[in-house]
Amino acid sequence: MASTMDFVTDIDGIDYPVARVGKRLWMLANLRVSRFANGDLIPLCADSKEYVNAGVAATPACCFYDNVEANAKQFGMLYNWYAAHDERGIAPSGWRLPLESDWEGLESVLALYEGDATDSGSYPHDLKALREQWAVGSLGGSRGINGAFGGLHSGGYFWSYLPDPSVLCWGRKASANSNTLERIDSFQRFGFAIRCVRDL
């Protein structure tokens, strides 16, 4: 089942709460790291022009939603595919981007809840905690290939690990009124959030 556990710290010294789901640990907050694992800065785009240019050049990029740094505390940062899959690594040591099988396992646990969110007796306490903590900050929207933002508070978009997509790449979408994590296709230039996972 699921149980809450401690924190993981990224290269910037930012702590993220984590929970155990089966044989995996999951971050319960969106990544907001500014550097790759080797210390190199992930290029931060201050406006739409910079973001679009990074996508056209097929280079890593990250941004704050609406280019407002204060949004990162709750919603993390948005990263294009090139940043998420860069060979220098974006996840904390020992962590990685989720595979489709990881998402399926998490979704099966989140979907166990069928009652009202205030009904603490409808499922075990550890599952209730996981569901509630996963939802906090998960609806951080996305950024399109033209640099436009959308979906804040209504949807959250997350990268899946797919190192060599031919045309489209894949991710998951969380919605405000659903326990599912919809599988979606996307372009590499999109800006999605990242939730990292660790094998136990």
- Which of 80-89, 92-101, 116-125 has the weakest average pLDDT? 116-125
Classify residue 12 by burial, with Cβ atoms within 10 Å: 0-12, 13-18, 19+. Answer: exposed
**Whether 103 contacts 181, CB under 8 Å:** yes
- Which residues, listed in sequence order, are joined to residue 17 by a DSSP beta bridge? 7
Type and span of the H or E element at 145: none
Classify residue 38 by burial, with Cβ atoms within 10 Å: 0-12, 13-18, 19+. Answer: exposed
| pLDDT at residue 162 in the model | 87
The closest of 176, 92, 78, 184 to 136, measured between CA atoms, is 176
Could you give the CA distance from residue 139 to residue 150 in angstroms, rounded to a whole number? 11
| pLDDT at residue 110 in the model | 73
Q: What is the pLDDT of residues 120-179, one digit of tens each?
A: 444 444 666 667 766 767 899 999 999 999 999 999 999 999 887 666 678 888 887 776
Placement of tokens 């599988």 in the chain: 183
Answer yes or no: pTM beyond 0.75: yes
**Whether 197 contacts 98, CB under 8 Å:** yes
Could you give the CA distance from residue 17 to residue 29 in angstroms, rounded to a whole number? 7
| pLDDT at residue 23 in the model | 87
